[in-house]
Amino acid sequence: MSRIVIIEDNPNNARLAEKLLKHAGHEVRVADNGEDGLMQVFTDAPDVVLVDMGLPDIDGQTIVGMLRRRAALKQVRVVAFTAWPEDRVDEMAKAYGCDGVITKPIDTRRFAEQVQAFVSAPKAEPAAADTAPPAEAAPPSSPPPPAEAEPPSPPAAPSTEPDSNPSAGQ
């Protein structure tokens, strides 16, 4: 039995995905926000994590980056679970470090098979950010997920004080 964590803030999407995966024999845990989802993944080390990219508390890109930086989770499959426009979703998910994408709305007849494909597929070697590629390998075409950084300080507000330079007005 595979362990799957679904991080999805829409309760209808989460319930449907959970129901379909449990019916297919998977052990499923659901988190309705990024923080709870991360804690669930850190605690359970599941086989697959389905991450909604548009969560209200922590965006999917940040979640994927946090998961990818944990050595203990290198074998966990991280799948973007999103309603992003299909013409850009594969490119974005790859750039974020996801193993693949399942788009919403889901096809209820194929959803469990789509997830099972991630469970069954052999895990690729760690990304270039984790290990140096062999000398003959080409560099990756997508950048690794960005590291978390402090946001830049906002610029100082313009002064509302009158100009104190007496020669400025002359």
In a domain, 32, yes or no: yes
Query: Lowest-pLDDT range, 66-75, 87-96, 120-129?
Result: 120-129
Residues paired with residue 6 on neighbouring β-strands, in sequence order: 30, 50
pLDDT reported for residue 136 = 34
Mean pLDDT of 135-141: 35
* pLDDT of 115 over the 50 cut: yes
Structure confidence at residue 48 as a pLDDT band (50, 70, 90)? very high
pLDDT reported for residue 162 = 47
Number of domains making up the chain = 1
Residues paired with residue 3 on neighbouring β-strands, in sequence order: 27
* Rounded Cα gap, residues 71 and 141, in angstroms: 23
Range of the domain at 46: 3-120
Which tokens hold the place of 129?
């950010």
Across 37-60, b (16+ Cβ under 10 Å) vs e yields bbebbeeeebbbbbbbbebeebbb
In a domain, 129, yes or no: no
In a domain, 156, yes or no: no
Mean pLDDT of 91-109: 95
* pLDDT of 46 over the 60 cut: yes
In a domain, 144, yes or no: no
pLDDT reported for residue 152 = 39
Mean pLDDT of 26-49: 97
In a domain, 37, yes or no: yes
CB 14 within 8 A of CB 50: no
Sheet containing 48-51: give its strands across: 27-31, 3-7, 48-51, 77-82, 100-103
Identify each DSSP E strand in 62-149 by its residue range: 77-82, 100-103
Which is higher by pLDDT, 109 or 153?
A: 109
CATH of the domain at 58: 3.40.50.2300
Which is higher by pLDDT, 127 or 21?
A: 21
